[in-house]
Amino acid sequence: MLAYSLSSLAAGVGVKSIAPTRHSELLPRAEVEALGIVWKGNSSSETSHDSLAELTSYPDDFTWCDKDGVNYCTPSLNQHIPQYCGSCWAHGSLSALADRIKIARKAQGTDIQLSVQHMLNCGNAGSCHGGSLDGPYQWIHSQPAGISYATLQPYMACSAESKEGTCAHGDWSCTPMNVARTCGTFGQECVGLSHFPNATIAEYGHISGARAMQKEIFARGPIACTIDAAPIEKYTGGIATQRSFMTDHVISVVGWGTCPKEGLYWIVRNSWGEYWGEQGYVKVKSGALALEQACAWATVQDFTAPERHNQYACFEDGSNCDASKPGADTPPAKEGAMLGKLHEALGGGL
């Protein structure tokens, strides 16, 4: 877990200096598999990625943040507040999934943000001291209720073993309170919710290489990838060009561009906040920072949204959705799907 990335071989544009070492936020393969995660796993032997049409050539410039004048990218996040937490593996994966939900919604309605803290509390795919690229999608795929929304379980940058900041004083176990919660007025206790907005995954997979990345991104949306982050800690702009051999961080790739000098480069959203880089983004030359070694994708199965008519409305204090009460055990994803089907049967559609 305390592995270090190799130093880079060349300086790139906009990178003022390179940190000699940094703690890896990616667990070694043995630790990943000990968590029950399939290394470079796919949800099936033949995935839908394999059947995607591969173009002879792709556009020189393509980004989901400005596709035909529409922004399908969800906001850049910061994994390091309210205290340091090595949860890039959860941030990168969930940001890419949230983008795909926005794509499915045709960029209509308010952005849906998924709960990184729910993943830290329950996902068994890592912690604030590191995780895996493939674990988040594998875990969400296995859960009938998928992942909750961030408004129900805000990010606290804590996991069970964390000692930093406020973490030592909290409970980060996987309980209904730590999946989705709300709190009543002064003097009332908070309650874990039995029904809550959530998103589920239909399929997931692992890919590598520039062509596979372009095919997946162009056809379906952003993806999560590993990267050597040491050379970009002090990145301020331009295109990072360093060659690397190891990765220690997870980001999401939302598109690509080309320039006369460097050729193809990736448009990368990090999870270090908008104060860093180009408002949370970095451009990475194709072949640099080991970015093309390992990527993960997921397809959206379902999500809670007004236009889908699949929300179970809880009271302001959560009293009608209190998970501690008898009978409050209907899986939200299944219930949401049933509500949607009922609405469709009544002529409303989805």
Report pLDDT for 206: 98
Retrieve residue 65's tokens. Answer: 């943040």
67 assigned to some structural domain:
yes
Give the domain range for residue 309: 29-41+57-345
> Which residue out of 78, 121, 178, 270 is catalytically annotated?
270
Residue 350: other Cβ atoms inside 10 A: 12
Q: Which amino acid is at 250?
A: V
- Give the CA angle between residues 262, 265, 270 to the nearest 5°: 135
| Residue 18 in domain | no
Q: Which of 88, 158, 295, 321 is catalytic?
A: 88
Say how many C-beta atoms besides its own lie within 10 A of residue 135's C-beta. Answer: 26
Whether 3 is covered by a domain: the verdict is: no
- In whole angstroms, give the CA distance from residue 194 to residue 200: 16
pTM: 0.88
CB 24 within 8 A of CB 184: no
Cis preceding linkage at 260, omega within 30: no
Q: For 149-170, how does the pLDDT look when each residue is reduced to its tens digit (9 = 90+)?
A: 999 999 999 999 999 999 999 9
Contact 38, 134 (CB under 8 A): yes
15 domain-assigned: no
Provide the mean pLDDT of the chain.
Answer: 89
Report the CATH number that the domain containing residue 291 is assigned in CATH: 3.90.70.10
The three-class DSSP label of residue 328 is coil
Annotation says 310 is catalytic: no
Q: Does the annotation count 71 as an active-site position?
A: no
Q: Is 124 a catalytic residue?
A: no
Inside any domain, residue 262: yes
Which of 43, 222, 31, 6 lies closest to 130 in space, CA to CA?
A: 31
Give, for 202, the enclosing helix (H) or strand (E): strand 198-207
Domain-located, residue 350: no
Q: Which of 141, 249, 295, 310 is catalytic?
A: 249
Q: What are the residue ranges of helices labelled H in the chain?
A: 29-34, 88-104, 116-122, 135-142, 210-220, 332-345
Each residue's pLDDT tens digit, 54-111: 999 999 999 999 999 999 999 999 999 999 999 999 999 999 999 999 999 999 999 9
Q: Which residue has the tokens 């176990």?
A: 173
Q: How many domains does the chain have?
A: 1
54 close to 248: Cβ distance less than 8 angstroms? no
* Tens digits of residue pLDDT in 330-350: 545 444 444 444 344 434 443
Segments of the chain with pLDDT less than 70: 1-22, 327-350
Is the residue at 52 inside a domain? Answer: no
What letter does residue 325 receive in the DSSP assignment? S
- Tokens of residue 226, six digits: 């590993």
pLDDT confidence of residue 23: 77
Q: Assess if residue 338 is contained within a domain.
A: yes
Tell me which residue of 81, 77, 80, 63 sits closest to 251, measured CA to CA. 77
